[in-house]
Structures are given as C-alpha cells and as structure tokens.
Amino acid sequence: MTFSIHGLAVARGIAIGRAVLVASSRLDVAHYFITPAQIPTEIERLRQARDAVVQELQRLQHDMPKDAPHELAALLDVHLMLLQDELLAKSVKHWIEDRLYNAEWALTSQLEVIARQFDEMEDPYLRERKADLEQVTERVLHCMKGGVSPIAQTRPTSRPQQELQLGDTMDVPLVLVAHDLSPADMIQFKQSVFVGFVTDVGGKTSHTAIVARSMDIPAVVGARTASQLVRQDDWVIIDGDAGVIIVDPSPIILAEYAFKQRQGDLERERLTRLRHTPAITMDGQKIELLANIEMPEDTKAAMQVGAVGVGLFRSEFLFMGRQGHLPDEEEQFDAYRRAVEGMAGLPVTIRTVDVGADKPLDEARHDAAHLNPALGLRAIRWSLADPAMFLNQLRAILRAAAHGQVNLLIPMLAHASEIRQTVALVEQAQRDLDQRGLAYGAVRLGAMIEIPAAALSLRLFLKHFDYLSIGTNDLIQYTLAIDRADESVAHLYDPLHPAVLKLVADTITECQRQGKGVSVCGEMAGDVTMTRLLLGLGLRSFSMHPSQVLAVKQQILRSDTAKLKIWAQRILESEDPAQLMG
C-alpha cells in the first residue's frame, strides 16, 4: 500500500530505489558489497559461524546441571531451533546472492524483516521470541567477527573500516534509510552506491544534512518514524525538493516521479553549460563563487563546476571517526597540500578544526553528559584547550601555504582573549617552523562570524583579521536559540528572521566600509532562494558545496544588484521579510 512520510528537504532531486535499512546500532556490523565471485565464501562463512554456535549451544545443553531451571533448557531448544531453521538460512542467503551483501549485513537485514513480523504477532509468547532471534543473531555475528566465545553477549564497539562501499555489479538502485547517521558515517558513504538518503532525525543544516547535500543526491532528514515505517527492500521514492518519501508507490506515481527525475537530470545537464561563464550580474558586478569541501578529494568537484577557490575546507572531517587517533602534523600537512594542489593555484581557505556539537570526534568521545554540546567545548574553544594539538594543525596549514594560496579561518570566536591567544599561537607555529627550518607560506587570517556576539563586535574582529566569513548555519542557531540538528524545532530555524538578516547585513557593510573581504559560507550561500537577497545586501563572495555553484550562478546572471539593493533595504526594515521575498 502506498503511503508518504514528510520530513525536511535537504538535497534536491528525485531518487527511486529499494530501501536499505540500517538501524544505527547495526552500523557496528560491517556493511559492504561483495563481488559475485565472493558469494560462496560469504555463504560458507555464515555456515561455519552458525555451526560453531550450534555446537556451543549443544555443549551447553549437554553440560547443563541437573538442577538447572527447566526454562533454560527450553531457551536453548528455541535458540537451536532458530539456528537450524532452513527457511531462515535460505532467506539470509537471498541477501548475499541477490543483493551482494556481506554475510553480516545479510544476517542483520533478515533479522530486521523477521523482527517486524514478530512485532505484528498477536500472541505475546510468540512476540517475545523476537528477543531470542536477536540473541542468536548476535551470537552468530560475534562468531563471524572471530569472537573467542560465541556465547558472549557483547556488541562490537569499534567500527570496521570497510563499510558501505561500491558494489561493482549492483543494478538495483538503493536508498539508505536510517534512524540517524553521524557526519562521519555520512562521509563514508561518499563513495557508496546509494542514490538517496533518509534519516529520522536531523535539521536542514545539521552536519549530516550538509554532507548529504555535498554528495548531490536526494536526501530527506527529520522524517521522524521513517526507519520504523519503511521495510527492508521496499520500493521508495525520495523527493528531495519537497522533503517527502513515498513508500511502495503505485505504478502511476512511479511513472510520474520517473518523469520528474528525467526533467531534473535535463535541468542539471543544462546548468553544466554555465561552468565557464563568469559569474557577473546584469549590471556588471563580478561575484566570487567558492566551494565548501570536506576532504581534499572534493577539490575535483570544485574545479569541475568552475569554483574560483575553496571558501571553506571543513578540516574537522580529517579528525572524525578515528577512535581517538588524531591526525598528526605530517598527515594534516599532506591533506592540506593535496587540497591546495587540487585547486591548481586558486585560493584555499582552511578552517581550523570545528568538532563538538553535532560533529563528535567519534561515538566513544560523544559525551552525552554535556547537556548543551553546541554551547560547550566546540571549535576554537576545543583547539585552545589543547594548544599542542592546535599548533600541529597551524604548522600543517602554514606549511601547505608554501604550495599555494592559503587563507586560515578560525571558527566560533567571540572573545578578545580568544583572538589574542589564536594570533599568538599562529606566531608560535611560525617560530616553530623557522626553528625546524621547514618551508611555510604567508596566510591571510580570517574569522568566522557565527556567534551573535562576534557579529556585534565587528570592529574588534576587523582590527585583527584580514577577512570575515559569515557562518549563517550557526549564526541562525545561536541568534534564535534553535538547535540546528533538532527536527522538532526546525520550523523555527529561520534564515529570514529580521535579527539574523540584520547581523548578516551589518557584517557585510562594515567589512566593505573597511575594505576587508567578506563572504558567506553557511548553507544560505548555496540556497538559490537567498541569492538575490544576499546580492542586495551587498555580498559579492559566496561559498557553497560544488553541487550548488551552477544553480547559484544562474541566479546571479539574471540579477541586477542596483535594483536588488533597494528591495533588500525594504526587506531589512520589514517585520515579516518572508512576505516580501516573492
């Protein structure tokens, strides 16, 4: 039966595919596609693990003391029966043979299918058998992982390196449906087969959503119960423009969306023709279109769309998901140098690490005890709390500047003392490199304006920095006191709130008055519905994901900044700017 689920539109376009459900706890199990040649090996691995667990349970049964409660014997019987069920084994094999899932993934996929059937059972005794099935599955998984005792009930804690990677023979499009995905999980999927994403939680500018957008495939977040309502292997349509998921669509709906999908592809095709067109408005204003990247490899996409530099390299993605092993100076230097070389002489703005809030370093370090992680030890606060680690990063960035034009960007500053400490550490890093006789280059020093206190202290900031970059994602979050990752307050996350617009407008005006560079690198810069307003407010430098550059350029080519300036002033003075946006 067809039904739809509503969430928040994150990344444009239509995706049609079969659902792959990955419950977040299941991410602890390796998920990857195998080749057809590996099918027998995977089936054999599964068989061996199952046989080992059967033997272990039979031994337990045999050694059971006479006075053991009879429920225990009955439990072992149930577990053995489940393990030896041929139908179950056949269903798991289907995921391996037809979907090319690795054995662990096949087993957990089938577990989810059966768990759902158990949930629907009326008989409470039978319903409770779900827990048995889960325990048996855990045992087999543990055994496949090479666990010493398959009886141990521990869940593996370290995340395997090899996760959802490209399956080379898959011809069924797949969409990923999960309760939640961390930004680090999401970055793993950049090379994956998935044609779309759905998560239950998350706001439009949560970092998970940002990474999904950078992948340029349809995605919906904040879909609340999607991972419970969608079943493994259901056909699903993701409408990334409307923020809707259609489950089990009828042939007519499918045909309609397939048509929309083709229209979207054609529109993108048309946009690629703008790649070499200079971004100049109708009244001759030259606009700088820069790229936001998460990894050095993303520079390829930036160059492909004709970005004239990188306006934001979110360096924290080099630090995340590494179970505490932070990248040292050499590893960072290598990554930054690759980004600089990837841009072939164009400027690269490297932002120092911004972990914390919805970007935990890894799950183990995600300290739930911090009640307000977005207001806690995040970004520059985290860097200044560990000067040795920060100096590693600063030296690596300065060394990369010997290979091309580099701008250094500092996130989340608010206090004069933080500015002083940061500047002192940059000088210290330069002295260290002098002492070690290592080459480094000059950098322009910039600050992000993403806390209202910073936007209200522009004179202080402009005394110390060469340029400012407005992080609208956080500026909105902190101005309106709305957690950007919380879907329950997403309706109040308003880029057009007069207070937000005033802070953005004042920052642009003050920078221009003082002849300093200013850009916007938050999601607002890549939102085509905001392009004209930002131009009207005087913005001439935009930084966004490569996937958004051409659509924004199209808007710029159709704009007249002189006219937009007057309109933008009216919007700034309005109590309800959304009404005037038109």
Strand order in the sheet with 196-199: 3-6, 244-247, 235-239, 14-21, 174-178, 196-199, 219-221, 8-11
Torsion of Cα atoms, 483 then 489 then 495 then 501, to 10°: -80
Q: Using the rule CB under 5 A, is 474 a contact of Mg ion?
A: yes
Token match 């099918």: residue?
39
Select from Mg ion, ligand PEP, none the partner in contact with residue 564, using the beta carbon and a kind-dependent cut-off of 5 to 8 Å: none
Q: What is the DSSP string of 49-106?
A: HHHHHHHHHHHHHHH--TTS-HHHHHHHHHHHHHHT-HHHHHHHHHHHHHH-B-HHHH
User: Which residue number places its CB atom closest to Mg ion?
Assistant: 474
What is the helix (H) or strand (E) element at residue 236, kind and residue range?
strand 235-239
Tell me the closest approach of the beta carbon of residue 63 to Mg ion, in angstroms. 59
- Helix (H), strand (E), coil (C) string for 182-225: CHHHHHHHHHCCCCEEEECCCCCCCHHHHHHHHCCCCEEECCCC
**Residue with smaller CB distance to ligand PEP, 274 or 335:** 335
In this structure, what token pair is assigned to residue 291?
């790229």
> Taking the mean position of all CA atoms in its chain, how far away is CA 393?
22
Q: Using the rule CB under 5 A, is 450 a contact of Mg ion?
A: yes
**Residue with smaller CB distance to ligand PEP, 211 or 305:** 211
**Residue with smaller CB distance to ligand PEP, 142 or 204:** 204
| Spatial CB neighbours of 16, under 8 Å, sequence gap ≥ 6 | 173, 195, 235, 236, 237, 238, 254, 257, 258, 261
Tell me the closest approach of the beta carbon of residue 360 to Mg ion, in angstroms. 15
Q: Using the rule CB under 5 A, is 311 a contact of Mg ion?
A: no
Member of 183, 311, 471, 536 binding Mg ion (CB under 5 A): 471
- The residue range among 290-298, 391-399, 448-456, 482-490 that interacts with Mg ion, by the rule CB under 5 A, is 448-456
Tell me the closest approach of the beta carbon of residue 500 to ligand PEP, in angstroms. 11
- The residue range among 175-183, 282-290, 370-378, 471-479 that interacts with Mg ion, by the rule CB under 5 A, is 471-479
Tell me the closest approach of the beta carbon of residue 411 to Mg ion, in angstroms. 6
In degrees and rounded to multiples of 5, residue 478 shows phi and psi of -80, -30
Tell me the closest approach of the beta carbon of residue 244 to ligand PEP, in angstroms. 25
Point out which residues bind ligand PEP (CB under 6 A).
210, 312, 314, 354, 450, 471-474, 521-522
Q: Is residue 207 among the annotated active site residues? A: yes
Q: Considering only residues 35-74, where is the footprint of Mg ion by CB under 5 A?
A: none
Select from ligand PEP, Mg ion, none the partner in contact with residue 472, using the beta carbon and a kind-dependent cut-off of 5 to 8 Å: ligand PEP
Q: Is residue 6 among the annotated active site residues? A: no
Instruction: Taking the CA atoms of 499, 504, 507 and 508 in sequence, report the sign of the dihedral they define.
Output: negative
Which member of 31, 79, 179, 521 is catalytic? 521
Q: Are the C-beta atoms of residues 35 and 100 closer than 8 Å to each other?
A: yes
Tell me the closest approach of the beta carbon of residue 521 to ligand PEP, in angstroms. 5
Which member of 179, 207, 403, 545 is catalytic? 207
C-alpha span between 20 and 109 (Å, rounded): 8
Select from Mg ion, ligand PEP, none the partner in contact with residue 142, using the beta carbon and a kind-dependent cut-off of 5 to 8 Å: none
In this structure, what token pair is assigned to residue 88?
């179950």
Select from ligand PEP, Mg ion, none the partner in contact with residue 559, using the beta carbon and a kind-dependent cut-off of 5 to 8 Å: none
Active site residues: 207, 521
Q: Which residues bind Mg ion (CB under 5 A)?
A: 450, 471, 474
